[in-house]
Amino acid sequence: MQQKQLGLLSLMAAVVGTIVGGAAFNLPSDMAAVAGSGPVILAWVITGIGMLALALVFQNLSLRKPELSGGIYSYARAGFGPFIGFNSAWGYWIASILGIVAFVTLFFQTLSYFFPVFGEGDNLPSLVGGILFVLLFHWLVARGIREAAIINVLTTVAKLIPIVLFLLIVLFAFERDVFTADLWGEGSFSWKAVGQQVKDTMLVTLWAFVGIEGAIVLSGRAKRVKDVGVATIVGLIGTLAIYLLISVLSTGILSQAELAALPEPSMAYVLKAVVGPWGAVLIVIGLMVSITGGMLSWYLVTVEIPYVAAKDGVFPTRFAQVNQNGTPIASLWWSTIITLAFVGIVYVSASTYQKVYSMASVAILIPYLLSALYQLKLVLTRETYLNDGRKTRDLWISLFATGYSLWTLYAAGLSYLLLVSVVYGVGLVMYLWVQRRQGRAALGKWDWIVVGLIVVAALAAISNGLV
């Protein structure tokens, strides 16, 4: 039985700690690379509405289905069966691992500000450092979920300090003329150009919010079920305000072209343009603290998903093993091994931070979409909605969340969808193996359609040289 160890503060730290990682510190250049000030604002409005809808879906499901303590994985399984539930768990697990790898890459790329030997975070010194970095967090989580959560609260507070200072300083240095010069990007205003710019920002804004479900995944360890939803909504609103201010205020300091050309972390160079070198040092240190906290949050969430899935029989049973500290130790070890393998792949392929986080974002969209569809299913079947006046409200929320997830998958582009399908294809092999060992019927008639889509997409990715 899981220990009910986490209170509201720890759950809020899990949400904010997972969301506010490295993405916040590179928003100025990531957004300016594809959009002007106006489309950036529109992108955050769309993402804010979409993510608020998803957060309300997570909150609502945590209250209506408190017995589903695996959160985002459990919703897919309860709504659409073991095979779809497995794919949600598998996709979320791999996406979380890719998120950790993205943090490792960005950490050593940032560290090169002080120690140039680390280059772009994809060379041999970064590989060695990344391996040691990952093993450090493995050790921390192995000591116990509660102890790791306490450290996460401290790092979450520490990472917010330089961000708040950045916002205060840049607010007073904001120049309206600079902001309006690139309001709608290059050329004159047109809805087509603005729409394309907004579309091109979707993976950036999504990555900035990946982790919103952090408290949901850890709901089985929450002291009070109601705290899960509160932590999710408060974390979302606070983070949205931070992201919007970072993106908009930066466009009042440097032009779009200047922001797009900034190295990572771009926030450091924006502040440097206002106050000098000490501003860059402050942000670089803040980013390193942020990545440290983000890594810990991601690790907490990453090891939980296979553990819960194993208890339900869709992952190998060994993933349900825990150590004397209550940590899912088998899940932790496999998560670490796969993470280290991906760190090595980044070194060999010289993949960028942006490419890794884009893959993670697309992979995690599937579990998001399935959660929204499960909420929609509950409304349409009236399950838990007998004599409940909130049916219409929740119908609209689930439709918004579903629409946002589908729109973002479209905006991601075909290449990333095909690439991620290979990941799901590997998971298919493991699922069939587990079901065979347990003597269960592996697939239903509708499941075969999903299998066909995964296999065709994976083969297309391989034949087009995307892998």
- Residue 394 φ then ψ, to 5°: -70, -30
CB neighbour burial string for 265-294, b if at least 16 within 10 angstroms, e if fewer:
bbbbbbbbbeeeeebbebbbbbbbbbbbbb
Q: Tell me what the mean pLDDT of segment 421-428 comes to.
A: 89
Q: Tell me what the mean pLDDT of segment 29-49 comes to.
A: 89
Question: Can you name the residues that pair with 6 across neighbouring β-strands?
Answer: 222
In the block, tokens 């629409």 appear at 403
Q: In 317-433, which ranges are E strands?
A: none
In the block, tokens 């900034």 appear at 262
Instruction: Identify the weakest region by mean pLDDT among 6-20, 297-311, 324-338.
Output: 6-20
- Please check the confidence at residue 350 and state whether its pLDDT lies above 90: no
Q: Tell me what the mean pLDDT of segment 159-186 comes to.
A: 87
23 vs 139, higher pLDDT: 139
- Please check the confidence at residue 181 and state whether its pLDDT lies above 80: yes
Instruction: Identify the weakest region by mean pLDDT among 11-15, 94-98, 371-375, 382-386.
Output: 11-15
- Please check the confidence at residue 218 and state whether its pLDDT lies above 60: no
Question: What pLDDT score does 2 carry?
Answer: 47
Listing DSSP states for 118-155 in one string gives GTTS-SHHHHHHHHHHHHHHHHHHHT-HHHHHHHHHHH
- Which structure tokens are listed for 463? 């034949």
Q: Tell me what the mean pLDDT of segment 88-111 comes to.
A: 86
**Is residue 277 reached through a cis peptide bond, with omega within 30 degrees of 0 on the bond before it?**
no
- Please check the confidence at residue 167 and state whether its pLDDT lies above 90: yes
The whole-angstrom distance between residue 396's C-alpha and the CA centroid of its chain comes to 24
Residue 383 carries which DSSP code?
Answer: T
Q: Tell me what the mean pLDDT of segment 249-257 comes to.
A: 91
Which candidate, 373, 361, 449, places its Cα nearest to that of 408? 361
**Per-chain mean pLDDT for the chain:** 83
Give me the residue spans of the domains in the chain. 8-412, 413-467
Q: Which conformational region is residue 123 in: left (phi greater than 0), alpha (psi within -120 to 50 degrees), or beta?
A: beta
Q: Tell me what the mean pLDDT of segment 274-284 comes to.
A: 91
Reported as a pLDDT band with limits 50, 70 and 90, residue 293 is confident
Question: What pLDDT score does 414 carry?
Answer: 84
Long-range (24+ apart) CB contacts under 8 A made by 429-435 are 430/90, 430/315, 430/316, 431/83, 431/86, 431/87, 431/90, 431/314, 434/313, 434/314, 434/315, 434/316, 435/82
249 vs 438, higher pLDDT: 249
- Please check the confidence at residue 311 and state whether its pLDDT lies above 80: yes
281 vs 351, higher pLDDT: 281
- Please check the confidence at residue 221 and state whether its pLDDT lies above 70: no
- Please check the confidence at residue 197 and state whether its pLDDT lies above 60: yes
The DSSP H or E segment spanning 26 is none
1.10.1200.10, 2.60.40.10, 1.20.1740.10, 3.40.1260.10: which CATH number matches 8-412? 1.20.1740.10
Question: What pLDDT score does 1 carry?
Answer: 41
Instruction: Identify the weakest region by mean pLDDT among 3-12, 50-59, 419-428, 434-443.
Output: 3-12
Listing DSSP states for 177-240 in one string gives HHHHHTTTSSSS--HHHHHHHHHHHHHHHHHHHTTTTHHHHTGGGBS-HHHHHHHHHHHHHHHH
Euclidean distance between CA atoms 29 and 34, whole angstroms: 9
458 vs 213, higher pLDDT: 458
Instruction: Identify the weakest region by mean pLDDT among 54-63, 227-236, 272-281, 456-465.
Output: 227-236
